[in-house]
Amino acid sequence: MNSKRQEPTMDKPHTARASTFTQQALIAVALGLLALAIAYFLREVGGMLLVLFAGVMLAVFLDGLTRLLCRAVPLPRRWAISITVLLLLSLFGVSLWFLGPPLASQLAQLAERIPQAIAQIHAQLLRVPWISPLMQRLPAPQQLLSISQDLMPRILGLFSTTIGALMSAFIVLFIGLYLAVNPPIYMLAARRLIPLAKRRRMDELFMAIGQALRHWLVGRFSSMIIVGLLTGLGLWAIGMPVPISLAFITGLVVFVPYIGPVLSLIPALLVAFTVSLTMVLYVVVLYAGVQFLEGYIITPMIQERAVSLPPAFLVSAQVIAGVLFGILGVVLAVPLAVMITVIVQMLYIEDVLGDRTIGVMGDDPWLDTKP
């Protein structure tokens, strides 16, 4: 009788372990399905969300310039934002007037030189005994040239000729201008979605995010201008062909940290191959020197108050955003990482963990280990 009564109790631990394992398996499956659903959602609508975020970034940029103007001249905000936009349009028009013709001419020359460089590199590699068999299996230079010539107009005109790109640009401008004209309206609307007890903290969070993004944008644009000028002067000094177009490309892609400077070196090397191997060496030394100045002197001086993030974290964010959202994800990955860093610092490290940070706008935003 006693043995029969004890049999069910002996099976209870086994049954409990089995039920616990089943629950854990179901939770794991549910989390996996949730991750797939989020990834699918981001894949489908992530492009539009990034366009909206680009509009927010434009609003942050205009707001920063407007604040500077209001500090210099006491003006109503609407007048200040109007003057800021007019000044930017005037600067763009003047730059286009003076640099437009030589830049267009040199870009056309660059498009001609890159296929020539590919053909020359192909011919030189064929002379190497252990590379020649592999190169013979690759497409002929004529095929590479035809492919590059067919793709070049599509690449250069991708964002200016498609309807989708025009609509995206219009949305970015629309959102940026309207957010910059009167930000408090949208801030008050967002505050109403937050519980009363948390609204003051949300105000601090919004201010910190805006300040971090403003400082990051000012630093990036300043680095773009300085790096573009230094690169152009250096290319002109060493006698490099099409220095204006190469400097223009370098200044643009520097907006994307770490990955951008590496990409900017590719067209410069291809053009240098059409001149001589000595020119290739000069170009490598020049770009390495400019990037050293940009990474260790220019950017630290400009962004000494900006959010400091580890390079591995930024590159990983760029790779993930590029896989999920394409080129627009790569371009906006770093400001997204800056915004997420500020949110994690304030809402998780400070509010949830109760720990302290040195500050969202400091040289080292990571945990303050001092008691």
Res 233: pLDDT: 93
Domain spans of the chain?
Answer: 46-151+163-350
* Strand stretches in 226-282, DSSP E: none
Show the CA angle centred on residue 348, arms to residues 346 and 349, nearest 5°: 75
Model confidence, pTM: 0.69
Lowest average pLDDT, out of 95-104, 150-159, 203-212, 317-326, goes to 150-159
Task: Please provide residue 370's backbone torsions phi and psi, each rounded to the nearest 5 degrees.
Answer: -70, 140
Residue 218 clears pLDDT 50, i.e. is over it = yes
Query: What per-residue confidence (pLDDT) applies to 321?
Result: 83
Nearest to 215 by CA among 145, 300, 107, 293: 300
Q: Reduced to 3 states, what is the DSSP secondary structure of residue 358? A: coil
Separation CA 192–CA 88 (nearest Å)? 34
Structure tokens at 45: 């609508």
CA 20 to chain centre: 44
CA 300, 303, 307, 311 dihedral sign is: negative
| CA distances (Å), origin 62, targets 204, 256, 342, 361 | 21, 20, 21, 20
Return all residues near 13 (Cβ < 8 A) that are at least 6 apart. Answer: none
Judged against a pLDDT cut of 50, whether residue 352 lies above it is answered with yes
Per-residue pLDDT tens digits for 141-196: 555 445 444 444 544 444 444 566 667 778 888 888 888 888 878 888 888 888 88
d(CA 304, CA 363): 6
pLDDT at 82: 85
DSSP symbols for 286-314: HHHHHHHHIIIIIHHHHTTTSPP--HHHH
CB 55 within 8 A of CB 171: yes
Contacts (Cβ under 8 Å, ≥6 apart) of 75? 69, 83
Question: Angle CA(64)–CA(67)–CA(71) in degrees, nearest 5?
Answer: 145
